[in-house]
Amino acid sequence: MSASRAERLAEVIRTEASEIIQRELRDPRIGFLSITDVEVSADLRHAKIFVSVLGDADAKRRTMAALAHARGRVRSMLGGRLALRFVPEIAFRLDESIERGARVATLLRRVTEDGSGGTAGGDRSGTGG
């Protein structure tokens, strides 16, 4: 299969899965989430759906458990929306890259606000030499 076909399918799955999760699933354990990426295998048989969940560790755990529980239903609903002979097996993965990026941005902001978070020469003794 061509890479562009897998990429196109990944984008369709991202759009449709987002719609299904936000509008069709009625599980109260599912918190605020966004689908950040979808990776489809070259043979179009497997898809990893990466989700970013807003909230604490417990909210993430609950949301991921609910998604795992609803995996078959989401796949079935995707099957009705995709024009494919075989609907890919799906797996949900937690994507924490947005949080990592925000944490790095915060740390960089602190360093630039502090101005001289450390000396360039590495002399931290304060004696100057």
The SS3 call for residue 103 is helix
In a domain, 53, yes or no: yes
Classify residue 127: in a domain, yes or no.
no
- Residue 59, classified by CB atoms within 10 Å of its CB into exposed (0-12), middle (13-18) or buried (19+), is middle
Q: Is the pLDDT of residue 108 over 70?
A: yes
User: Is 98 part of any domain?
Assistant: yes
Has residue 14 been placed in a domain?
Answer: yes
**Domain CATH for 63:** 3.30.300.20
* Mean pLDDT for the chain overall: 86
Tens digit of pLDDT for each residue in 24-58? 998 999 988 999 999 999 999 999 999 999 889 99
At 76, which amino acid appears? S
Residue range of the domain that includes 100: 3-114
Residue 70 binned pLDDT confidence (cut-offs 50, 70, 90): very high
Q: How confident is the model at residue 72 (pLDDT cuts 50, 70, 90)?
A: very high
* Whether pTM exceeds 0.85: no
Of 2 and 76, the one with more pLDDT: 76
Neighbouring C-alpha atoms within 13 Å toward the C-beta of 60: 13
pLDDT of residue 49: 97
